[in-house]
Chains A and B, each alone.
Chain A
Amino acid sequence: MNKKIPLKQRLFRISHLLFAVFLLIQILPPAMSKIRGKTELAIADSAVHAVVFMAAVEIMLIAVSLTVKKRETLVLFSDVSAFVYIVFIAWTLATAKFNFISEQLFPPPGIVLRQVITDVTPLLGHISASLLLIAKGFSLACVTAIPLGLVFGSSARFGTAASMVSKFIGAIPPVVYIPYGIALLPTFKTVSAMVIFLASFWPIFGGTMNGIMLIDRNIVNSARTLGVRRVSMLFDITLNAALPQILLGASQALTVSFILLTSAEMIAARNGLGYYVKNYSDLGNYTRTIVGVIVIGIVISLVFFAFNRLQRFLLRWK
C-alpha cells in the first residue's frame, strides 16, 4: 500500500496525450458551411474558454498526480480527466469543427462554458433551491421511516404485513403523486417536498424492515444473553445490524428523489435546476439548456459521492 509511486508512473499517463490532442484539434479550421461573421468570432472566442478550462483540468491533474499517495486515487483521477478530454474532443469536433449537429441545438463547449460563467450566481440559487427541497423531503423520510421500520420490523406479526404493504406502495411509480400533490397542496414547494418524502419513505422503510429480517440470529441471541434491555436492543443492536440495508434503501430513495424533483420542477416550479432546463428549452435557448443538464449531472454526482463517503464511514466495520 505505502509503496512509493515512481515519478514516471505519476506523469506518463494517457490523459496528457489526450490533452495534447485536444489542443491540436483547435488548429483545425472551423466548419465553413454556416459561418457568418458573427458566429465565427463567437466560436473563436469560445475556444479560448474551452482551452482555459481544459488547461485548468490539466494543471489540477498534474498537481494531484504529483502529490497523491495511493495508486488507486492516481488512476481514478487520470481516468476521469481522460474521460473529460475525450468528451471535449468529440464535442469540439462534432460542433465547432465539422458541424455535424446544428449549432442552435448543440453549441460548442466553449460557448457553454462561457454561459456557465455568466450564469454562476443564478445557477447557485437554482442549485440551492433544488438541494433544499431534496434535503427537506429526504430527511423527513429518514426520521420517520427508520423509527417506524424499526418498530414494525421488530414485530413478527406486523412486520410481514407492513413489508407487503410497503412492497405494494413502493411499486407505484412516485411520479403519479405529482398531479395529486398539485391539486391538494397550496404551494409548489410543499408539493415537491411532499412527493420527495413519499417517494423516499418506502425504500427507506422497506430497507429498514428488510435489514431487521436479515439480522443474524446469533447476533440477537448474543445480545439477549448479555441481558440487553429493550431500548438498547433497538438502538444499539437492531439499528446497527440493519444499517447496511437502511443505507441501501436510502440510496435508492435519493436516486428517486432527484428524478422526481427535476420532473416536478419541470412541471410547476419558479426556480430550481429542473425549472432552469425547462424554462430555457421552452425559450429555445439551448446553450442554457445544456448548461442546466450538465449542472444537474454534476450536482447529482457530487451528492452521491458525499453519500457514498458517509456510507463508507458508517459501515467502516464491514
Chain B
Amino acid sequence: MKNKIDISGLIVEYGERGGKNLALDGVTFSVPEGQFVSVVGSSGCGKSTLLYVLGGLCGFTGGTVLIDGKPVTGPGSDRGFVFQQYSLFPWMTARKNVMFGVAQVRRGYPRREIRAVADEYLNKVGLTNAAHRYPSRLSGGMQQRVAIARTLAMGADVLLMDEPFGAVDAKNRVLLQELLLDLWSDETKRKTVVFVTHDLDEAIFLSDRIIMLTDSPGSVYLDIAVEFPRPRYRDEMMKSIVYDDFRRTLFADFFGQKEKKIERDSFII
C-alpha cells in the first residue's frame, strides 16, 4: 500500500527572541493510506505541533513532510482538521457551519445541493434535530459531533484530529469514539486518520497503530501496531487477556519513559 503521509526528520523550533524552544526533534514515520494512527505522549511533548505541521498551520525548521508524496506548504482541503474545542463558528447554526465547510470544497454548487450534503452528515452524527441551533446552545459533545460532520462532509482523504474528545465527559467520550469508528469504517474509501490523544485506552480502542512520543522535545519513542480485529466491540475487547497485556506494556512504556527522564534530569542537577 502506498504511503499517504511521509514525515522524516521533522524538527520544529518555536523561536522566541533569545531562547529557542525545541518542540519536535527529528520525528520520522509514515502512514499508509487508510490507516488509523494515534499519536500519544504527555502534555507539552509536541503532539499538537506535529498535527499543526501536517495541517499546514505551522511551519517547520527542518525535515520533510509529504502528503501523497507532495510537500506540505499550507492548509488544504485534502486534509480535514478537528480541534479539541471551540472550532465551530459561533455565529453560524450547526447546519450553516457544515454548509460553510462544504461550500469551500464545492464552489459554485447550488445552495440546495450543499444543504443536502450538510444535512446528510448531520444526520450521520445524529444531530438532525439540532441543525438550527447555534454552537453556544449545544453541549461540548454535540459541538464535536458537528465539527466531525463538517470535516467528513468536506470529503478530505486525511483526517487530523487533535484530542477531539478531550473536553467531553467520560460517557459521551465513549459514545463519540464508537460513532467515529462507525463513520470511519462506513466510508467506501477509508480515510487516513492521525488522532492525537493522551488517553491510552482511547488510542487502543480506535487505532491500527500507536505512535508514542518522548517527552519534550518530541521524537518517536515507540511505534506499535494494535492488532485487534475490526469491527471492535469495547466490552469484548476489554475482557480479553490480550488487551490487558497490551495495555499494561503500553502503560509501562508511557510511565517508564517518564521515570527515565526524571532520573536523567536529577543526574544533571
Q: A317 contacts the other chain (Cβ, under 8 Å)?
A: yes
A227 with B104: in contact, given A216-B86, A317-B136 (CB under 8 Å)? yes
A219 with B86: in contact, given A224-B75, A243-B91 (CB under 8 Å)? yes
Q: A226 contacts the other chain (Cβ, under 8 Å)?
A: yes
Interface of B is mostly: loop
Cβ–Cβ contact A225 & B79, under 8 A? yes
Complex Cα distance, B76 from A226, in Å, reads: 7
Cβ–Cβ contact A237 & B75, under 8 A? no
Q: B101 contacts the other chain (Cβ, under 8 Å)?
A: yes
Cβ–Cβ contact A226 & B90, under 8 A? no
Cβ–Cβ contact A240 & B104, under 8 A? no
Contact with A along B66-78 (1 / 0, CB 8 A): 0000000001110
Interface of A is mostly: helix
The residue that A224 contacts in the complex, of B57, B89, B91, with Cβ under 8 A, is: B57
The closest CB in chain B to the CB of A219 belongs to B89
Contact with A along B44-65 (1 / 0, CB 8 A): 0000000010011100000000
Q: Which B residues touch A224, using CB under 8 A?
A: 56-57, 75
Q: Which A residues touch B85, using CB under 8 A?
A: 218
Cβ–Cβ contact A225 & B80, under 8 A? yes
Cβ–Cβ contact A221 & B83, under 8 A? yes
Residues from 84 to 99 in B contacting A, C-beta threshold 8 Å:
85-92
Q: A318 contacts the other chain (Cβ, under 8 Å)?
A: yes
Chain B interface residue number, banded: 20 to 34
- Shortest A246–chain B CB gap in Å is 12
Q: B121 contacts the other chain (Cβ, under 8 Å)?
A: no
- Shortest B59–chain A CB gap in Å is 13
Scoring B79, B100, B135 by chain A CB atoms within 10 A of each residue's CB, the highest score goes to B100
Cβ–Cβ contact A227 & B77, under 8 A? yes
Cβ–Cβ contact A225 & B55, under 8 A? yes
Q: B81 contacts the other chain (Cβ, under 8 Å)?
A: yes
Contact with B along A4-19 (1 / 0, CB 8 A): 0000000000000000
Q: A222 contacts the other chain (Cβ, under 8 Å)?
A: yes
Cβ–Cβ contact A222 & B83, under 8 A? yes
Complex Cα distance, B44 from A119, in Å, reads: 72
- Shortest A18–chain B CB gap in Å is 40
Cβ–Cβ contact B104 & A226, under 8 A? yes
Complex Cα distance, B81 from A318, in Å, reads: 24
Cβ–Cβ contact B81 & A222, under 8 A? yes
Please give me the 8 A-B residue pairs with the lowest Cβ-Cβ distance, nearest first: A225-B81, A222-B87, A317-B134, A227-B77, A240-B91, A317-B91, A224-B75, A218-B86
Q: Can you sample 19 A-B contacts with CB below 8 Å?
A: A216-B86, A218-B86, A221-B52, A221-B57, A221-B87, A222-B83, A222-B87, A222-B88, A224-B57, A225-B55, A226-B104, A227-B76, A228-B104, A229-B104, A237-B89, A240-B91, A317-B92, A317-B135, A318-B136
Known pairs A225-B75, A225-B79, A317-B135. 20 more at Cβ < 8 A?
Answer: A218-B83, A218-B85, A219-B86, A221-B81, A221-B87, A222-B81, A222-B83, A225-B57, A225-B81, A226-B104, A227-B75, A227-B76, A227-B105, A236-B100, A237-B89, A240-B89, A240-B91, A317-B90, A317-B92, A318-B90
